[in-house]
Amino acid sequence: MKKIFVVVLGLISTGIVWGQEIDVVPAPVEVKYTGGVANVENELGVVIGSRAFTQAVKKLDPAIKEEAYRLTLTDKGYRIEAMTEIGVIRAKSTLSQLGEGTPACVIFDYPRFTYRGFMLDISRHFRTKDFIIKQIEALATLKINVLHLHLTDAAGWRIQIDRYPRLTSQAAWRVGETWQEWCDRGYRYSTEGAPDAYGGYLTKDDVREILAAADKYAITVIPEIEMPGHSQEVVRAYPEVGCYPTSDDLCPGKEATFEFLEGVLDEIIDLFPSHYIHIGGDEAGKADWHNCPDCQARMKAEGLSSVEELQSYLVRRIETYLRSRGRDLIGWDEILEGGLSPNATVMSWRGTQGGIDAMKEGHDAIMTPGGFCYFDKAQDAPVFEPKAIGGCLPFGRVASYDPEAGIPEECKPYLKGLQANLWHEYIPEPYHTEYMTYPRIAALAETGWSPAGEKKALRERAIKWADSLRDGSLTGKTFKVFDLRAERGQRPESLVPAEHLARGKKVIYTTPWHPSYVAGAELALTDGRRGDWSFADGAWQGFLSDVDVTVDLGSVMPVHYAGATFLSEPGPWIFLPRKVTILLSEDGVAFREAAVIDKEVSGEPDGFVTYGSVLSGQARYVRIKADRYKEWLFVDEIIVN
């Protein structure tokens, strides 16, 4: 960190005019205005470890003290006090957002959480060294202090490993420029230099440059090497570490697998100085483990009763190896299954329960629930946004997340922070990566740094920060940024309760809803709530089957219309029904067909489609039958008039 002062000061010369308040993101803990206008160009001094500042931070957690600073701004210039050089860097991140007209003041500041991360998936679509460094420079202005690089996955291995050269000569290259094209073409791999090869990888020299750039801003880079799932590219290049040549997952029954993993991790550890090494651990298929003789022999020898315990065996063994090399294991919350390794840290992505369970057992946890922290979702109405994996995660929802909400008091000491994740299945271009990141990451940064309950005028501050990123005045480089000013907001239909004859009436389910998408349970389809842009907003009810439900109106009455709105989002495998049939009955036993609505759904774009019909007749019972096209059906409300 010898060069930190020169590098960060380079940001100050392109400072932003913020008006007559300290209007930065994230908001500082404390600002005391002293009158007059500050000179933010002239450094008056940097003092590390002074007696006065040591006294000021004596009650703070030691890890938080490391990032604390006091920035005194006067008409003569600015002065920084900190306990470490990292605190100086954080002070200069604040300075990078200040410009002409900044009021004279004293800023006393420190983080709420010690871990404030951003995960960049460069496996599904490769990103170069220069692009990654550019993002580091932007993240630094928000005091993000961890960059998690998802380096390996089935779609491509993205880092040089000298001991296993086929990982980069073969596993880093695929047939199909986009992830979807690769899937559609049968998950085929290629070789470096072949005409049909798409991919790339970071050389070790590339990584060293990335690490040097991150070090200038006191950002830790955590590498992720996926195991045992998401490893199809590995077993294609090195079939001897799979259960069978056509397996998708690594084989934990073979010693060759552990020799391979330890060999890879040795080179990763030698390259990356981070305390954590991320091993993934999520979504392992395990199907072949049931029949693989090596896996079954391993289970018998180790006294394991399930394939979940076999995965835990692999995780524990890798964790022991990492500890022998002076590092700690971190993984997605699936590493809880079958028993958690003693010193492992959990990233809770399937909601927050995994993190809570880990903390109750005395393990550190980082919160990254998909409903608040997955930036691969559209940030506004999906029908108007570039294609995404599914769902909608607007800026306001990111900002609304509080990692401490619902966390038992005794667990909070183990809560280290939070992280945003940007998976790249549907993000083929570098500019699209930036568009999906900014300004949402500003909302997460505010939560991670600023005191709980703050966020005053966050949207306005984030817009100003994003403007400076877009026009290049913040870092000297221009970025593609989502325009928060033009945000459409919630789906209009979701804002007004639906008034109709069926509202509040009993619904009889012949086919059940899926337990992951309950919405309002028995009343979900007649509660007057229509869904927002996201299928996971709590109003859409999901079915992994045909839909067959009947509304009991309570008495026989004239029925002139019946219908329901279905959601189409092919990214998460949500499709419109092939056909919807509306049936009427007076006694709930004998139903007569009142309408059939057929639609061509195979090429249906993202959006919302109402299947409804004008009717003529009387009924007490209105039955809606929706024939599934494939995978999921989502419906928000059955309207009867």
Residue 308 token pair: 């979940």
Rounded to the nearest 10 degrees, the angle between the axes of helix 440-449 and helix 430-437 is 50
Q: Which uninterrupted H or E stretch holds 583?
A: strand 579-585
Amino acid at 414: Y
Cβ proximity of 563 and 614 under 8 Å: no
Per-residue burial over 110-119, b if 16 or more Cβ lie within 10 Å, else e, is bbbbbbbbbb
Residue 315 token pair: 């995780």
How many angstroms separate the CA atoms of 465 and 459, rounded? Answer: 10
230 is catalytic: yes
Residue 76 token pair: 């003569």
What is the DSSP pairing of strand 618-627 with strand 579-585? Answer: antiparallel
**Is the bond preceding 103 in cis, omega lying within 30 degrees of 0?**
no
What is the DSSP pairing of strand 78-82 with strand 43-48? Answer: parallel
Q: How many helices and strands, by DSSP H and E, does the chain display?
A: 19, 26
Pick the catalytic residue from 75, 196, 205, 283: 283
Per-residue burial over 129-155, b if 16 or more Cβ lie within 10 Å, else e, is bebbbbbbbbbbbbbbbbbbbbbbbbb
Q: What share of the chain is helix, strand, coil (3-state, %, to 5)?
A: 30, 25, 45
Pick the catalytic residue from 230, 278, 363, 424: 230
Taking alpha carbons only, the member of 293, 345, 288, 328 closest to residue 311 is: 288
| CB atoms closer than 10 angstroms to residue 23 | 18
At CA 461, angle to CA 459 and CA 465, rounded to 5?
115
Q: Which uninterrupted H or E stretch holds 430?
A: helix 430-437
283 is catalytic: yes
Q: Where are the alpha helices (DSSP H) in 483-602?
A: 492-495
43 is catalytic: no
Cβ proximity of 331 and 278 under 8 Å: yes
Residue 384 token pair: 């108007």
Per-residue burial over 329-360, b if 16 or more Cβ lie within 10 Å, else e, is bbbbbbbbbbebbeebbbbbbbebebbbbbbe
Q: Find tokens 């490391």 and name the residue.
A: 66
Q: Find tokens 């089957």 and name the residue.
A: 545
Pick the catalytic residue from 66, 153, 376, 527: 153
Residue 393 CA to its chain's centroid (Å): 10
Q: Is 120 helix (H, G, I), strand (E, B) or coil?
A: strand
| CB atoms closer than 10 angstroms to residue 64 | 15
Phi/psi of residue 356, nearest 5 degrees: -65, -45
Burial class (CB in 10 A: 0-12, 13-18, 19+), 163: exposed
Cβ proximity of 275 and 328 under 8 Å: yes
Active site residues: 153, 230, 283
